[in-house]
Amino acid sequence: MSLTYVSTRGEAPELGFADVLLAGLARDGGLYVPSSWPSITVGDLDRFASMPYADVAAEVMWPFVEGSIDREAFASMVTDTYATFDADEVIPLTDLGDGIWLAELFHGPTLAFKDVALQLVGRLFDHELTRRGEKVTVVGATSGDTGSAAIEALRDRESAEVFILHPAGRVSDVQRRQMTTVAASNVHNIAVEGTFDDCQDLVKALFADDGFRDTRNLSAVNSINWARVMAQIVYYVTTTTRLGGGAGRPVAFSVPTGNFGNVFAGYGAQRMGTPISQFVVASNRNDILTQFLTTGTMTIGEVHPTSSPSMDIQVSSNLERLLFEIFGRDGAAVADLMARFRSEGTVSVEAGRLDLLAEHWSAARVDDERTAATIATLYDERGVLLDPHTAVGLAAAREMRADPAVPMVVLGTAHPAKFPAAVEAASGVHPQLPDRLADLFDRTERFVTAPNDYLTVRTMIESTLDGAR
């Protein structure tokens, strides 16, 4: 029996997996969630403890895709996905002492956890588009991590031409080079003379331009895509089985959070039966989520730049998926709440609603100073270097841990060499890129520079597409 997906705002049609994959956002502005949560039993957890990551992944995700994709084709896409990771266990665990563990989600092609999901989503996209005989133009704006992960996920795929806009001179050299040194004829980097917000506005304008959107078949691989959440559920399951020793013993997670996609995947794993006793939502100075989870009120402010830029976010789009659950899956109530948030810039939920989260959820804000101190101390004590995002997670884990007898897992969302300046400033040590990227600074870059002007950017994309096809 195949699972269907419903929108968090209750007005869009129920769709199957393949349509949800290609649609991204639902037509009513909501996000798709599964109509029910499949279940994982204690027996499954025991079995998973001794299985390779990719095999567990194929089994855990199968109920979400069943009916849309052939089982063997799916299993082989999953195997190929995790073969791109340069660690045998895919997600290695490192002991940080005191029952705290680091889950290293950053061994994929671009050294950030986004690869765990996007490497699979790229393959799923290509598979479904090829089956339908369609081609898409993927456009996206990036301040760093998402752009390179999307490029690596879609490079050399015949079904997509990829245009990634980044703010010229405002992404780190490592991040820019990870995007611009990819030698694939379907990948196009545009450095916009402006800020990340300007890039985002240009992408929004391209999507709002009906003629362009429809003739060029525009598409996005954005963070609200259900398939990304689905792929992230898996490492909560595998990590829990390894540390809990199967047998259903609980584990806690601390999650460096921006758009809330990662930690919502943990919620999904818990709903499916994974024994997770605590989620620590870790924010940097941009703490709208910490405020919401501790007070029930969420207010938009301005974005402050921090040493953990991938968490410099004001509105965490995936939170809507959790709101849908705490409102008893009442789409109309969620639509109303989101409309008030948009128009007034602030919204509160009644205390009773948050009670549902009280048992398992906590949140903490960690500023840049504490982040740097956390990196320095851990390096001194154990010789382990953390990137600033992961350090926010570790500091929050120590502050909020509910039960010292339960293993606490800090999700390592980026390799330290992805943020060398902040890591070196904190620890005095320059983090080394892994061997396969050691020549990153010798590779040839390819990108064009564009003024922050809509028509110029659109014309550049159109002439590239006309030349490519």
Ligand X SMILES: *Cc1c(COP(=O)(O)O)cnc(C)c1O
Instruction: Give catalytic residues, as residue numbers.
Output: 114
* CB closer to ligand X, 45 vs 171: 171
Q: Are 91 and 103 in contact (CB under 8 A)?
A: yes
19 CB-near residues (< 8 Å, 6+ apart): none
* CB closer to ligand X, 194 vs 412: 412
Secondary structure of residue 123 in the 3-state scheme: helix
Q: Are 368 and 287 in contact (CB under 8 A)?
A: no
Q: Which of 389, 409, 416, 423 binds ligand X (CB under 6 A)?
A: 389
Q: Which helix (H) or strand (E) is 192 found in, with range? A: strand 187-193
Secondary structure of residue 311 in the 3-state scheme: helix
* CB closer to ligand X, 278 vs 284: 284
What's the rounded Cα separation, in Å, for the pair 261 and 276? 17
Backbone angles phi, psi at 291, to 5 degrees: -60, -45
Residue bearing tokens 């989620």 = 279
Please, what is the minimum distance in Å from the beta carbon of residue 147 to ligand X? 11
Q: Of the ranges 256-264, 296-304, 320-328, 370-378, which one interacts with ligand X (CB under 6 A)? A: 256-264
User: What does the per-residue mask of binding to ligand X show for 330-369, with x meaning CB under 6 A?
Assistant: ----------------------------------------
Q: Of the ranges 192-200, 257-265, 293-301, 362-370, which one interacts with ligand X (CB under 6 A)? A: 257-265
Please, what is the minimum distance in Å from the beta carbon of residue 352 to ligand X? 26
Binding flag, residue 257, ligand X (CB under 6 A): yes
The interface with ligand X within residues 297-316 (CB under 6 A) comprises 310-311
Q: What is the full DSSP assignment across 50-116?
A: TS-HHHHHHHHHHHHHBTTB-HHHHHHHHHHHHHTSSSTTSS-EEE-STTEEEEE---STTSBTHHH
Q: Which of 298, 414, 423, 450 binds ligand X (CB under 6 A)?
A: 414
Using CB atoms within 10 A of its CB, is residue 229 exposed (0-12), middle (13-18) or buried (19+)? buried
Q: Are 217 and 28 in contact (CB under 8 A)?
A: no
Q: Could you count the other beta carbons within 10 Å of the beta carbon of residue 203?
A: 21
What's the rounded Cα separation, in Å, for the pair 148 and 329? 35
Please, what is the minimum distance in Å from the beta carbon of residue 373 to ligand X? 19
Q: Of the ranges 54-62, 81-89, 259-267, 337-345, which one interacts with ligand X (CB under 6 A)? A: 259-267
Please, what is the minimum distance in Å from the beta carbon of residue 135 to ligand X? 28
Tell me the site size for ligand X, rule CB under 6 A: 16
Q: Six-digit token pair at 390?
A: 């992961």
The interface with ligand X within residues 226-255 (CB under 6 A) comprises none
Secondary structure of residue 408 in the 3-state scheme: strand
Please, what is the minimum distance in Å from the beta carbon of residue 262 to ligand X? 4
User: What does the per-residue mask of binding to ligand X show for 100-129, with x meaning CB under 6 A?
Assistant: ------------x-x---------------
* CB closer to ligand X, 129 vs 386: 386
Please, what is the minimum distance in Å from the beta carbon of residue 311 to ligand X? 5
Binding flag, residue 152, ligand X (CB under 6 A): no
What's the rounded Cα separation, in Å, for the pair 370 and 378? 12
Binding flag, residue 286, ligand X (CB under 6 A): no
Binding stretches for ligand X (CB under 6 A): 112, 114, 145, 223, 256-262, 310-311, 389, 413-414
